[in-house]
Structures are given as C-alpha cells and as structure tokens.
Amino acid sequence: MLPYLKRISEQKNLILWGDYSPAELDLLRKNLPARGLFFNFRVPTMDEAKELLAFLRRWGERRSS
C-alpha cells in the first residue's frame, strides 16, 4: 500500500483513518511526506488513547529535532 499512498500524497492531501500501532505509524512516518498528511485515529479505550497521545508527542519531538 505504501507506494500507492505515496503517489496519492504527491498529488493531494491524504487522510488515513483507523487504529494504528506505533510500528505502523513509524512505517508511515518514514515513508510518507508530512505535508498534507492527516490521521483520524480510532482508539477503542481511554487507556489506549492516552498511550497513543504519549507516543504522538514523542513522535513530534523526534520530527522537529
């Protein structure tokens, strides 16, 4: 799927919706441009939402370094 997602992201904004693991998010981060990339997360529990939020905060810190 990554080649198709990359091709789409080169032409227009890309919205990805779903329940992603940290490993999947890292894979997307390394292979897709950040510009125009939007995630709509589905998280089944509040605990998982807190874990995802902590992961995303660390993810953003790594990108800006």
pLDDT at 18 over 60: yes
> Based on the structure, what is the number of domains in the chain?
1
pLDDT at 39 over 80: yes
pLDDT digits (tens, 9 = 90+) for 22-36: 899 989 988 999 899
Q: Give the torsion sign (CA, 55, 33, 24, 30).
A: negative
Tell me the residue range of the domain where 9 lies. 2-64
Question: 12 phi and psi, to 5 degrees?
Answer: -155, 175
- Higher-pLDDT residue of 58 and 13 is 13
